[in-house]
Chains A and B, each alone.
Chain A
């Protein structure tokens, strides 16, 4: 059976890389002030002919924003891949199972109490978010297992809805109590990579690297878990230990991402799903390709978010949800239909 051209075309690292770079260049180029590709190139190799304003915009505004968007997108997509593989559940992503909301509560608590943990300095924010993400995740899994041993797809999603509602009200409460101070949090909650600068990139980057490595060394385990824990155990996977490592890595990526950019929903659902259609379920290709396409997707989403109603900006979460929610509905519908 010959594969469709589109499938073969996108199932290629070089193609994915070219698309990613092109998108990044577009992301830098397009905005309230248009910047030609030549200026971008010039800035990168420090040619003096580039206008100072252009290089200023590129270096301190557009580039960090695009890079952050790319990293966040890649992180969320990989976390989605991990959750889906581990839970054997195509509906799982950091947002739908409530982990993003948990991380957001952590972040809001840091803002609310002006928390600074000793020795952590500004890393307090991502670390608290990560801890909250991990606790939420463990709670969701425990709850789902207690409710129903075989952890049906819908059960986990229902628990995710419950978590989202609960954490949402917690955040609203904190926002209400803080008065004006946390009003800005609402915009942040919808997700945004605007006006973050290099400091946020550097805040996020270490966790991104650790989390990514954590998942990349577990590609074979993710494949094994896709066939169920019993099968994984039977081929010699140390189930509990490996599962914890994978969950920890995914929480690291999710928690840190939420801490710097708010809750951007459905990236971890849309990207793994699309990528799976292209390359199949084998994590050997699924994970790296989701990385590249996830990053690309969020750079594009950010581009749309800031240009579609220019000069105003939409929260980036609006764009991702606009695409992700209908896909979620389709996947849910399909999984329910398969049962009856």
Chain B
């Protein structure tokens, strides 16, 4: 890796006010380097020192190993181009005329000649910011994002090695932001940019510099730096880190306020003829395999709907959403499952001690499966016969605790099936579940924090017992009804 920019022990003060204190870092060639920090952390001053808009007071900045103050203006403009936060536009100039200015450092001052190379570079620069169709339009007729891109075309026409950007995507809409940043990312230039938005910085930057009160707090990859403690320390706001759902990038989410605590009547069970409904007094965070609202989401309504045995639908999810709407539920706040079992046979289990939790299970074991021997089975389409488990916990679960709660509940269910001697009809071995089981772990995310919910943690123990008991009861009721109907 070649050092592109070396900032060494740079301090700066406006009058008495210290803005930068002993800041050092290195930017490598080809890097997308981001600078993050709250307002007044000195990032703009640092940028202005790098662009030579401000003279150095203490410390040194090297570009390609040479102190920046030793470059002549034109030499420096061939190496470093600056795109300020706000581009001053001048009325009456066209996009192309603006971009042509970028060739200034390449032309002799006395007898400037416009060469083919100049022309070609400008054409390419305008093309790469996708303004070719507007190159003869005057700047004042462009949108803010287009003006910023025109300014970028000027910077690109300079053919610099480094681009310095001060919040380049300010005043741009989302699409324009990403268009510009993708363009920069693809350009292969060394980019040093101030970012306002931590998540955009995380998405695009190879490395980040965190600044606070004029000091460099840390420098490293987004994955290294964007820890909850680090960001909370620098930005003085509570936050959580999570992962981008599609890209391998960390993201942060701020927690500016907390939800009110509710003690009484946290959940209500409503039993209807064709469905079981649990409504919560506040949104619960849910991890589920439900048909509607699966994955992680916040929900206030939990529906276990009875469908006939021969229910077939190409798009079960859409049909379920229609069903929910018809019954006055908002699918955005609902976790919805289906079962062929009679929902009147639901079994509940409550724990109301140090730990408050509640489990509801409907069980049908006609299609029981032994997971250990399932590979012997030849059927590919799952036939109905379902154990649906709802677990509600009044407490704050970490993401790991959610997953452990899921494991604990599943193990308890499997054990209940074992103890009830439920047999996989095809393999004639003890079943561990059915082929279409579904589960939802819901937590109020208030009160006690549970970092873990494994089988021997306090919450795990209670949870396992409740699931085990409710599943057994549900199987009994199912068998009883089957016996009656026979």
Contact = CB atoms under 8 A, between A and B. Distances in A.
A111 to B, nearest CB: 39
B444 interface: no
B158 A235 contact: yes
Contacts of A88: 88, 90
A212 to B, nearest CB: 15
B76 A236 contact: yes
Contact of B107 (A220, A231, A280): A220
A281 B101 contact: no
Interface in A222-269: 223-224, 226-228, 230-231, 233-239
Given A230-B53, A235-B158, A236-B74, A280 B104 contact: no
A155 interface: no
Nearest to A90: B91
A122 to B, nearest CB: 32
Given A217-B110, A220-B112, A226-B93, A236 B104 contact: yes
A230 B84 contact: yes
B97 A223 contact: yes
**Range class of the A interface residue count:** 20 to 34
A276 interface: yes
B154 interface: yes
A282 interface: yes
A220 B101 contact: yes
B98 interface: yes
Contact of B77 (A217, A230, A234): A234
Interface centre among A224, A226, A231, A239 (most CB of B within 10 A): A231
A235 B110 contact: no
A214 to B, nearest CB: 12
Nearest to A235: B104
A3 to B, nearest CB: 10
Given A220-B112, A236-B105, A231 B88 contact: yes
B92 A237 contact: no
A227 B88 contact: yes
A233 B52 contact: yes
A237 B88 contact: no
A230 B94 CA distance: 19
B220 interface: no
B426 to A, nearest CB: 75
Interface string B350-386: 0000000000000000000000000000000000000
B169 interface: no
A282 B53 contact: no
B122 interface: no
Nearest to B157: A235
Nearest to A286: B92
B73 A281 contact: no
B90 A280 contact: no
Nearest to B158: A235
Nearest to B82: A234
A234 B81 contact: yes
B89 A237 contact: no
Contact of B101 (A230, A233, A235, A239): A235
A276 B140 CA distance: 14
B51 interface: yes
Interface of B: 51-53, 72-78, 81-82, 84, 87-94, 97-98, 101-102, 104-105, 107, 109-110, 112, 138, 154-155, 158
Interface of A: 88, 217, 220, 223-224, 226-228, 230-231, 233-239, 276, 280-282
18 contacts: A217-B110, A220-B101, A220-B104, A226-B90, A227-B93, A227-B98, A227-B101, A230-B53, A230-B84, A231-B84, A236-B75, A236-B78, A237-B104, A276-B92, A280-B97, A281-B90, A281-B93, A282-B94
